[in-house]
């Protein structure tokens, strides 16, 4: 198999780090970005110049454009760009601070949009490429307590769905990876607003207590999820959406079925609003 060049954000831990490890182990070249490059020193010592590392905060749009251009120049081309950086806020919408709202949107949504926008001219100029946007089962369904997280994931899924159609003529393909609960550090990194007494016994409060108590079933194998995303990029016909894990497959399927049923139930009213 020919060597593939990858650009991946958010590689300090979790799925981003695992993808870097798997790709280097099979002989690919990787441009890895993260806030603290020293966290990849062990891999740089092991793999040398097959790993290119740069500091990047995806809320800095100028830095995004500069770093991805530098990576493209250093590696000669970028075959796959993985937009992985992100985090979650756990709490009722009313509990979140303005700063927490701004930060999750700037990272998960605007940061992802700007990374994709910066990648497009590079991929178009080289004749094509593949962009993997790490979304979540939460890009197609929702849980109470994760309203801000869902807002960013539903938002980036709509953006990618549209952009994929815009750039298809340039041989640029997209995959929205939608993992369910997976054994990474995501839960430990959740930002939690100060709880309000009014929400303690509501669904949002119950979900928060269950997560804090470790009572949420985590069935996703992080190594397998990372491998599945790599396999999607290897495919000659990669899927636009890829639910990863039984939990994701079931929750997304059930969510789509429920939404379709609601649309169909309103058919008579929907059709009645057209011009006679």
Tell me the whole-structure pTM to 2 decimals. Answer: 0.95
pLDDT in the model for residue 108: 97
186 pLDDT higher than 80: no
pLDDT in the model for residue 2: 81
The band of 184, judged by pLDDT with boundaries at 50, 70 and 90, is confident
pLDDT in the model for residue 215: 83
pLDDT in the model for residue 219: 84
Q: Which residues are catalytic?
A: 135, 149, 153
Predicted confidence (pLDDT) per residue in 192-237, tens digit: 999 999 999 999 999 999 998 888 878 889 999 999 999 999 999 9
Q: At what angle do helices 61-75 and 111-125 cross, to 10 degrees?
A: 30
pLDDT in the model for residue 1: 60
If you average pLDDT over every residue of the chain, what do you get? 95
**Exposed/middle/buried for 197, CB within 10 Å: 0-12, 13-18, 19+?**
exposed
- Cβ-Cβ contacts under 8 Å for 71 (sequence gap 6 or more): 7, 31, 33, 52, 54, 78
List the structure tokens of 260: 């379709």
**18 forms bridges with which residues in the sheet?**
none
- Cβ-Cβ contacts under 8 Å for 224 (sequence gap 6 or more): none
Say how many C-beta atoms besides its own lie within 10 A of residue 194's C-beta. 8
Percent of the chain at pLDDT > 90 equals 92
Mean pLDDT of 250-268: 97
Say how many C-beta atoms besides its own lie within 10 A of residue 38's C-beta. 11
Percent of the chain at pLDDT > 70 equals 99
pLDDT in the model for residue 239: 97
| Distance separating alpha carbons of residues 68 and 54, to the nearest angstrom | 9
The band of 183, judged by pLDDT with boundaries at 50, 70 and 90, is confident
List the structure tokens of 198: 């009014």
Residue ranges and CATH numbers for the domains of the chain are 5-251 (3.40.50.720)
The band of 90, judged by pLDDT with boundaries at 50, 70 and 90, is very high
Mean pLDDT is lowest, of 100-104, 184-188, 217-221, for: 184-188
187 pLDDT higher than 80: no
Element holding 241 (H helix, E strand): strand 241-244
């Amino acid at each position: 198999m020919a060597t593939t060049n990858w650009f991946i954000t958010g590689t300090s831990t979790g799925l981003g780090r695992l993808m870097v490890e798997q790709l280097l182990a099979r002989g690919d070249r990787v441009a890895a970005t993260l806030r603290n490059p020293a966290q990849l020193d062990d891999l740089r010592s092991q793999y040398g110049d097959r790993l290119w590392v740069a500091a990047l905060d995806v809320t800095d749009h100028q830095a995004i454009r500069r770093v991805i251009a530098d990576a493209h120049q250093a590696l000669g081309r970028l075959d796959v760009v993985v937009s992985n950086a992100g985090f979650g806020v756990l709490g009722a919408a009313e509990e979140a601070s303005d700063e927490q709202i701004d930060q999750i949107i700037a990272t998960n949504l605007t940061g992802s949009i700007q990374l994709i926008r910066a990648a497009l001219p590079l991929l178009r100029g080289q004749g094509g490429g593949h962009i993997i946007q790490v979304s979540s089962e939460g890009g197609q369904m929702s849980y109470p307590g994760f309203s801000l997280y869902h807002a960013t994931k539903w938002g980036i899924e709509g953006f990618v769905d549209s952009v994929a159609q815009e750039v298809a003529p340039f041989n640029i393909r997209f995959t929205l990876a939608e993992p369910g609960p997976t054994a990474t550090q995501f839960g430990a990194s959740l930002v939690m607003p100060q709880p309000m007494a009014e929400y303690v016994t509501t669904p949002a409060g119950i979900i928060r207590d269950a997560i804090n108590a470790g009572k949420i079933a985590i069935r996703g194998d992080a190594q397998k999820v990372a491998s599945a995303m790599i396999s999607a990029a290897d495919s000659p016909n990669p899927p636009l959406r890829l639910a990863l894990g039984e939990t994701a497959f079931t929750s997304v399927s059930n969510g789509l079925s429920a939404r379709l049923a609601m649309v169909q139930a309103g058919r008579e009213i929907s059709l009645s609003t057209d011009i006679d």
